[in-house]
Structure 1
Amino acid sequence: MTIAVYTAGESCQQCKLTQRVMTAVGIRFDTIDLTDDANAAARDYVTGDLGYSRAPVVVVDEHDQWAGFQPDAIARLAASLHAQPVAAVGTTDLSGGVT
């Protein structure tokens, strides 16, 4: 699963908070800076296709997305990701190692 965090650049405090909390709870994500002209297609996707007008925009999949710093949504996402069956990511032995 690829999670995308669309940001409004370095000055966006809600973007920084979202990224910081997602990292702290172990959520991997790609960051796309919407202020970079090279990301014009991503900006059109976020504002046109998805209809968001504020950042950050977190897109988990086509049905799970939000805008702004949303600690509850991050916690919900972390819980769902960490609730994945162990067999889906490897087999854990009793000593804590992954085989």
Structure 2
Amino acid sequence: MPVVPASPGHAPSTHQGSDGGDRTNADRGYELFRLWCELTGRSPHQVPVDEVAAFLGRPEVRALSRVPAEVLRDAAGPARRGSSLPVERWLATVRIVRPHA
């Protein structure tokens, strides 16, 4: 998987994972990226680093990264447009499908 360097002068923020361990928000962002690739049929290894960085930097991705994977999968179907899955539609659909997720 392409590695995107951290922003200079900024340490990644962390939060408590469901297993009790700390996980960085970047880790969850990469998990979301891999899920998005899976749902759109793209290989995460073939996405250019600059596209990965742009994906991870989107505010919708930060919001989606707080949503459980099963909710994301449920919302992906209605949000999909052909083989694409626009993240803003995905987030909007999450809010409709599971408003309190």
Same fold (TM over 0.5): no
Q: Which structure shows the higher strand fraction?
A: 1
In the superposition, the TM-score normalised over structure 1's length comes to: 0.28
In the superposition, the TM-score normalised over structure 2's length comes to: 0.28
Q: Which structure shows the higher helix fraction?
A: 2
- Which of structures 1 and 2 has the larger relative contact order (alpha carbons within 8 angstroms, sep 6+)? 1
Q: Radius of gyration: which is bigger?
A: 1
